[in-house]
Every structure is written in structure tokens, then in C-alpha cells.
Amino acid sequence: MLTGLDQRPLAARAVACALFLLVLSAFTLPFAIVTADLRRAEGTGIEFALGTPSYSGHYVHDSYKGEVERLVDYAQPVALVALVAILAAVALVWIPWKWGPAAGITFASLGFGALVWFHQAVSSAGTFAGTEYRGGFWISLGLVLVAGLWSVVLFLRTPFWWRADTGPRRDYFAPTDEF
């Protein structure tokens, strides 16, 4: 039932927004290092999303040529989807009623799925490249789960811990002749 007022307190919505902002800030940390031969690409989540990680080194053998660039190219759209999903969640968790938590659940699921897909795209089994996942990736993966679970709690709207007292409650263990 939609009422004129949002029944979720401001603090609950602020916690949801803060969790998604923490996920977003984890994208500024070192995310992954992709290496093949002596060629290396490393960057933050934002750099991978924009397709601009820093490259260093060179290929010694021609059979490795282009492996690092190919994996970074595979990961770029997936990292961009994860980044956009988290940005959307930051803005949309403020929507009133159950729409805000539903948006949080949706975009946390999209972000988590995109991060898992990023993991798969960068560590493809058919290449000679190796991938080392840095703290930013693992922190963002864990925090997007926490933010999604918090959105589930807000969506289910457990009333006992944030609604104001609405008057006397019935004591179900009292004799029935008192009521």
C-alpha cells in the first residue's frame, strides 16, 4: 500500500547509499594485473571500465602478442556495466516506498554479476595470460553483496526495529479475560 510518506527512515536509506558509495570507492583501488610474457596491464576498476589501464613491458615471443590487450578489451564493457550499475544504485536507493530497495537489489545483482563476469573475462582459460586480482576487486565484490543484502532487509521492511511505537501491544501470554 502506497502512503503519502515513505515508511523507511532517512538513516536506513542513507546506510544503503553509503554502502553503494563504498563499493564505488573500491573501484578507485587497484583492481587487477594482467600479465603475459613480459607485458603487463594494471589499473583500477574505473580504468578498466574506461579501457585505460596502464601498460608496461613488452612481448618476448610472438605467440603471446596481443594477449593482455585482448583480455583488457574483453573486460572493459563488463567493468563499465558494473560501474554504471553501482552509480545507478547510489542514486536510486533514495526513491520512496519499496522502489528504492528494489532498485538497490536490482543494481546490486547487476553489479555482482558484472564483477563475476569481469573475473571470467580477464582470466580466460584459452589464453597464455595470467591475472592477479587486487584488493579493489575483492572489496567491491564483498561490499556489493553487503549492499544488496541491506537492500533486501529494507525491501522486506522488518517493522520491529524502525517503526515508532503505535500504542499498546497485546500480550499473547496473558489470560484472555483481560482483553
Tens-digit pLDDT profile for residues 126-178? 777 788 899 999 999 999 999 999 999 888 875 555 555 566 666 666 666 65
Asked if residue 129 is part of any domain, the answer here is yes
Q: How many domains does the chain have?
A: 1
Asked if residue 150 is part of any domain, the answer here is yes
Asked if residue 92 is part of any domain, the answer here is yes
Asked if residue 161 is part of any domain, the answer here is no
Give the CA radius of gyration of the chain: 23
Q: Could you tell me whether strands 130-133 and 39-44 are parallel, antiparallel, or unpaired per DSSP bridges?
A: unpaired
Looking at per-residue pLDDT, the higher value among 72 and 179 belongs to 72
Supply the pTM of this predicted model: 0.80
Asked if residue 174 is part of any domain, the answer here is no
Asked if residue 30 is part of any domain, the answer here is yes
Domain extent, residue 135, equals: 10-156
Asked if residue 179 is part of any domain, the answer here is no
2-27 core/surface letters (b: 16 or more CB in 10 A; e: else): eeeebebeeebbebbbebbbbbbebb
- The share of the chain scoring above pLDDT 90, in percent, equals 53
Q: Does the pLDDT value for residue 1 go beyond 50?
A: no
Q: Considering the chain, what is the average pLDDT of its residues?
A: 85
Phi-psi region of 41 (alpha: psi -120 to 50; beta: other; left: phi over 0): beta
Asked if residue 173 is part of any domain, the answer here is no
